[in-house]
Amino acid sequence: MSQRMMSWILLGVMALGLPLNARGQEKAKEVGAQEQIKFDQDKAQAHMRELEERMFELAKLIRESQPEDSARLIMGVQKAREHLIAEQMGEAATLLSSLKLDQATDEQKEIIEKLNELKKLLLTADIGLQLKLDQLRKLKEAREQLAKLTEAEKAQLKSTEDELTKNAQPGEFKNLEPSEKRNQRQADDLEQLVKQFGGLTGGAASAVGAASQSMGKAGSSLGKGDGKSAPPEQAEAVKKLTEADKDLAQAEEQLKKELEGLVRRQVMEHLTNMIVMQREVRETTEKLQPRIAEGSAPAVASLKRLGDSEEEIVRLANDCIDLCELTDFSVAFPTALRDIVAKMELVRDNLENGLGNEEVILLELEIEADLQGLLDALKQASKPNPEGDGECMGCKGNMNKLLAELKMLRQMEVSLQSQTQRLDEQVAARKISEVQRAERCAPLQSRQEQVLETTTRIADTYGDKK
């Protein structure tokens, strides 16, 4: 894609994210403020529709010459439509016209966030990774739909067998036909979704198609009041759906293996950036602290703005958690990072409230150290197992990955112990009341339970199942 064309598209995306009063300068006639605001929002919605269409048309034009950029644009259009950005702009316009400004502001914030995500997608350096991640998300979604459909068909089979046991009249069986037909329609939709994965999912699409045919036969029998012919077809449908899930599960594992190293590397890059950003926040807090102690209003205002920087670190951390939970490249990482995010959110709230004392700075330092610990653990997991030394009893040959999990587990426990100690010291010094002690103990207890649950999952993942 030419630099000029990409710049045009990105300018379009960014313009849609501007405050509404920065656009809509042209108008055919004088209108009131309320009508003007709605006019601007409607105009933004029209621009979004136009941008989607142009991105789609451009993707078709460059499909042969620039397949990677074409895929990037198609993915952008899909994301925009999946997130219903244009529709949400329409909802915001309706809220503005009825002067529900608070709700409209919330809608606009969500729209801007989605537009920023779209911009990030269009700028991503590794579109191949993003395509595979999107494929994995859709594969998981397909498995969820398949699981619901399988349960629905099992329930349908049970209902039919129950009616047979009661020697039901033909009319009772006819009442079961609509739900059988509904299952069949869902199976047809699911078959089309699975076909999008091509050869990756093996015979899953064929299995779902066969299940749909069996459902159709069962529905036809039920519609005729024939309860005896339906259960064998329903049982066959359940069998085929189970076979399809087996194929989809294998495809999911294959994709996860392909993505593991790539995603871990991206998460490590994010962690590196987060450490730099956190250090900058801490150093700025330290510089502002003396002036804040003197009551300087500009210093307090500067400190409050640091809350936005901390929020950006929180956003990056949550992106890392989402990536890990999608690909399952680590058991302990999401829990460990969530523990750190809780500290980040506390720092963010303190900064936004103009608090930058020693306690806040110590917490910022702790976050830096925790992030560095996670980064070091992931570096450990990235190392290939040394020949002859990588095999170990009870780790399924993944010694470095297991060591990384244990490092993260230890870091969580050390952090928890440190916070418990600080709480004990505050209680001993009577700095907090019994009510406050109980309030602060509750989240610590919850996190201790999470550490225990994570430990069990690590044992299940890497241990030998007997």
Taking CA atoms, 317 is separated from 261, 324, 345, in Å, by: 18, 11, 11
Say yes or no to pLDDT of 333 above 50.
yes
Secondary structure of residue 141 in the 3-state scheme: helix
pLDDT reported for residue 34: 58
The full set of domains in the chain, from first to last, is 3-124 (1.20.120), 131-250 (1.20.120), 259-462 (no CATH)
Q: Which residue reads 């108008």 in tokens?
A: 27
Q: Please provide residue 25's backbone torsions phi and psi, each rounded to the nearest 5 degrees.
A: -70, -30
Q: Which tens digits make up the pLDDT trace of 373-432?
A: 999 999 999 888 765 554 555 565 678 999 999 999 999 999 999 989 988 888 888 888
What lies within 8 Å, CB to CB, of 124 at 6+ separation is: 72, 130
Q: Cβ(121)–Cβ(72) under 8 Å?
A: yes
pTM above 0.85, yes or no: no
Q: Tokens standing for 40?
A: 């601007």
Q: Which tens digits make up the pLDDT trace of 103-130?
A: 777 777 777 777 777 676 666 656 678 8
**Of all helices (H) and strands (E), which one includes residue 203?**
none
Q: Which tens digits make up the pLDDT trace of 248-300?
A: 999 999 999 999 999 999 999 999 999 999 999 999 999 999 999 898 999 99
Secondary structure of residue 66 in the 3-state scheme: coil
What lies within 8 Å, CB to CB, of 170 at 6+ separation is: 224, 225, 226, 227
pLDDT reported for residue 30: 41
* Helical ranges in 226-296 per DSSP H: 230-293
What lies within 8 Å, CB to CB, of 31 at 6+ separation is: 39
Smallest CA-to-CA distance from 217 within 203, 193, 236, 192 is with 236
d(CA 71, CA 145): 26
d(CA 119, CA 116): 5
81 vs 177: which has the higher pLDDT: 177
The pLDDT confidence band at residue 29, using thresholds 50, 70 and 90, is: very low
pLDDT reported for residue 1: 47
Smallest CA-to-CA distance from 8 within 128, 127, 113, 122 is with 122
pLDDT reported for residue 6: 52
d(CA 192, CA 208): 9
The arithmetic mean of pLDDT across residues 322-333, rounded, is 95
Overall size of the chain counted in residues: 466
Q: Cβ(286)–Cβ(362) under 8 Å?
A: no
pLDDT reported for residue 87: 77
What lies within 8 Å, CB to CB, of 458 at 6+ separation is: 331, 332, 402, 405, 406, 409
The pLDDT confidence band at residue 81, using thresholds 50, 70 and 90, is: confident
pLDDT reported for residue 32: 58
The arithmetic mean of pLDDT across residues 75-95, rounded, is 74
